[in-house]
Amino acid sequence: MTHITLIRHGQANTEARDEVSYDRLSDLGHQQAAWLGSHLEASGAHHPRIYSGTLTRHIETASGMGYGQVTQDARLNEMEYFTMAQLMEAQYGLAVPQEREGFIAHLPKVFKAWAAGEIDSPPESWEDFETRTQSVLSEISDGDGPALVVTSGGFISMAMRQAMGLDTNGMARMALAIMNTSMHRLFPIGGHLSPVLFNSVPHLETPERQYAQTHL
């Protein structure tokens, strides 16, 4: 097994409330990706294998970091949160938030209903999301050399749930905390992937860049 560094994509279209509109980086998202790429180059980070999901925001982030050769895998894609939020509104009257603060209460409710199978006709089941997260990370960890994976916050929170045995509420709190272009490392310990780094943004910690520490 080898270690895996998960990276959340740069800031996307914060005004969007559907999957298609959300799936592109904002100007700040492009800048975050460029700063992270420069930081990794300057620090001499060694990642012979680079992966990403197939979403536009994943590909744009990897490209902005300076990675032209990337192995794309749809199993690294985000869950369709906005689609499920719309289903929750139609089926249960739970309004889709229009500001970040609203998502703090909204996201755990969606996760709980999804995990319990209470959302009719979701894009994928909770169990399928769990399975694809586990399977792709297992395959990557079995490869040679450290791997860097550009993905999304929901995927990262599921990976951490599996590594740490989190319940659904714990996973939701973790998902809400994950910053854009943050780094999270899973290291093989005792035959299992264990978290040794979470939400690291060294490229955004200088005073003039702290404004770029975004969650949405």
What is the Cα–Cα distance from 74 to 188, expressed in whole angstroms? 24
The mean pLDDT value of the chain amounts to 96
* Model pLDDT for residues 162-196, shown as the tens digit of each residue: 999 999 999 999 999 999 999 999 999 998 999 99
Taking 90 as the threshold, does the pLDDT of residue 216 lie above it?
A: no
* Model pLDDT for residues 26-46, shown as the tens digit of each residue: 999 999 999 999 999 999 999
Predicted pLDDT at 193: 95
Predicted pLDDT at 17: 80
* Model pLDDT for residues 123-138, shown as the tens digit of each residue: 999 999 999 999 999 9
Taking 80 as the threshold, does the pLDDT of residue 1 lie above it?
A: no
17 contacts 161 by C-beta, under 8 angstroms: no
Taking 90 as the threshold, does the pLDDT of residue 204 lie above it?
A: yes
What is the Cα–Cα distance from 159 to 137, expressed in whole angstroms? 8
* Model pLDDT for residues 142-151, shown as the tens digit of each residue: 999 999 999 9
Domain ranges for the chain, please list them. Answer: 4-208
- Taking each helix axis from N to C terminus, what angle separates 153-164 and 126-141, rounded to the nearest 10 degrees? 80
How many alpha carbons fall within 13 Å on the CB side of residue 20? 0
Predicted pLDDT at 161: 97
Predicted pLDDT at 77: 98
**Mean pLDDT, range 70-87, rounded to an integer:** 97
* Residue 69 DSSP class: -
**Mean pLDDT, range 90-104, rounded to an integer:** 90
Quick one: which of 5, 69, 59, 13 has its CA closest to 33?
Answer: 59
Taking 90 as the threshold, does the pLDDT of residue 99 lie above it?
A: no
> What topology does CATH give the domain 4-208?
Rossmann fold (3.40.50)
Q: 216 or 215: which carries more pLDDT confidence?
A: 215
What is the Cα–Cα distance from 178 to 191, expressed in whole angstroms? 26
What is the Cα–Cα distance from 23 to 29, expressed in whole angstroms? 12
| pLDDT confidence bin for 3, thresholds 50/70/90 | very high
Taking 90 as the threshold, does the pLDDT of residue 101 lie above it?
A: no
Pinpoint the alpha helices (H) of the chain.
Answer: 19-22, 27-42, 56-64, 81-92, 100-115, 126-141, 153-164, 168-177
- Whole-model pTM: value is 0.96
* Model pLDDT for residues 40-66, shown as the tens digit of each residue: 999 999 999 999 999 999 999 999 999
- The string of DSSP codes covering 19-44 is HHHHSSB-HHHHHHHHHHHHHHHHTT
